[in-house]
Structures are given as structure tokens and as C-alpha cells.
């Protein structure tokens, strides 16, 4: 379960209710005999790991933008970070209160869809610049520019082709 918790925290970047429900689902999927043995783990470690995940987010050690290298570093330093978290929470009541009540806010997404040349990228760049001027930290993801041009369309083309073949078989 510790490994499942680490995967949920690091790889899936979960914390709060989402992390708790993911781990509860993992526990529920285990055989009854194993679940009985993990009762103590669930009673003590589950809350600890949920608070630890919150601390990683609050201290910005893990963010939505943490790249693969940063995530691998989190895995390498997992035990050290847990120990540091334990000391911080024991020493500071404010930190303890923050991690106990932390729930991540859902990120707002702006998705621009339209025909080629209609100004999606221009609008997006302008919005990005305005958000930066307002002191926010927007995350720019432009499928046209990421990964070599129109490579993001390949899966859609394959699906469309498969759908066409399926339709011709059913006629």
C-alpha cells in the first residue's frame, strides 16, 4: 500500500479527497484477508500520507508543472522528505493546521477550438500575457507547437479510419 500511495502521490499528483478515495479503492480491491491485516495501516498511515501529499503541494515541492526529472527526484528523496515533513509538522502548529485542511483547487482550463487561421493561438498568447501581468502562473499547452506540428492529429486520424472501416462492415 505504501508503494501504491507513493505512485498516487508522485505519478498521479493526487492529494486530499482524490488521494484518499484512490487509496480506499485500492484497499477495497484487495482480498478480505489482506484488508484485515491492513486495518492498522489504514488507521494510521493513510491520514499521514494524505497530509504528506498536501505538504508537498503547499511547499511547492510538487506542482502541476513538476517535470519528469522533478518527479524522479521526489521518488529518490521520498524517505528524506517524509522525515522532513514529520519534523515540520511537529514543530509548527500552523503547518500542521494547513496540511490537515488542505484540499487542492481545481485548475481552470481555457480550451480554444476552431478552424485554422481563426486566431486561436493569437487569442491564447494574448490571454497568457495578460494572466502573467496579473501575477498568475498560466501553463501554456499548445498542441500545434508541441511535438512536431500536427503529430497530435495522428490518433484522431486512426480513430476516424477505424470508424469508417467499422461502418462499411456494418452496411
Distance CA 59, CA 133 (A): 24
**For all residues of the chain together, what is the average pLDDT?**
80
Higher-confidence residue of 36 and 138: namely 36
Average pLDDT of the segment spanning 45-56: 92
Q: Cβ neighbours of residue 95 under 8 Å, at least 6 residues apart?
A: 55, 58, 88, 89
pLDDT in tens, 4-19: 999 999 988 888 888 9
Contacts of 20 (CB under 8 A, 6+ apart): 46, 50
Instruction: Provide the 8-state DSSP code for 114.
Output: -
**Distance in angstroms (rounded) separating the CA atoms of residues 152 and 156:** 8
Is residue 41 within 8 A of residue 1, CB to CB? The reply is: yes
Tell me how far apart the alpha carbons of residues 70 and 24 are, in angstroms, rounded to a whole number.
27
Q: How far apart are CA 34 and CA 9, in angstroms?
A: 22
What residues contact 148, with CB distance under 8 A and at least 6 apart?
A: none
Global pTM value: 0.62
- pLDDT by residue (tens digit) across 124-163? 888 888 888 877 777 766 655 544 444 444 554 454 444 4
Amino acid at each position: 500500500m505504501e508503494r501504491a500511495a507513493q505512485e498516487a502521490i508522485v505519478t498521479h499528483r493526487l492529494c486530499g479527497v482524490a488521494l484518499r478515495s484512490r487509496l480506499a479503492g485500492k484497499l477495497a480491491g484487495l482480498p478480505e484477508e489482506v484488508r484485515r491485516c491492513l486495518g492498522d495501516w489504514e488507521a494510521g498511515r493513510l491520514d499521514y500520507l494524505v497530509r504528506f501529499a498536501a505538504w508537498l503541494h503547499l511547499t511547492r515541492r510538487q506542482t502541476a508543472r513538476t517535470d519528469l526529472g522533478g518527479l524522479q527526484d521526489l521518488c529518490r528523496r521520498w524517505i528524506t522528505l517524509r522525515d522532513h515533513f514529520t519534523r515540520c509538522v511537529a514543530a509548527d502548529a500552523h503547518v500542521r493546521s494547513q496540511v490537515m485542511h488542505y484540499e487542492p483547487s481545481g485548475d481552470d482550463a481555457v480550451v480554444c477550438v476552431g478552424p485554422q487561421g481563426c486566431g486561436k493561438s493569437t487569442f491564447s498568447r494574448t490571454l497568457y500575457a495578460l494572466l502573467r501581468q496579473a501575477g498568475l502562473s498560466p501553463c501554456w499547452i499548445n498542441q500545434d507547437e508541441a511535438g512536431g506540428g500536427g503529430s497530435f492529429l495522428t490518433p484522431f486520424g486512426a480513430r476516424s479510419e477505424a470508424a469508417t472501416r467499422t461502418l462499411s462492415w456494418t452496411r
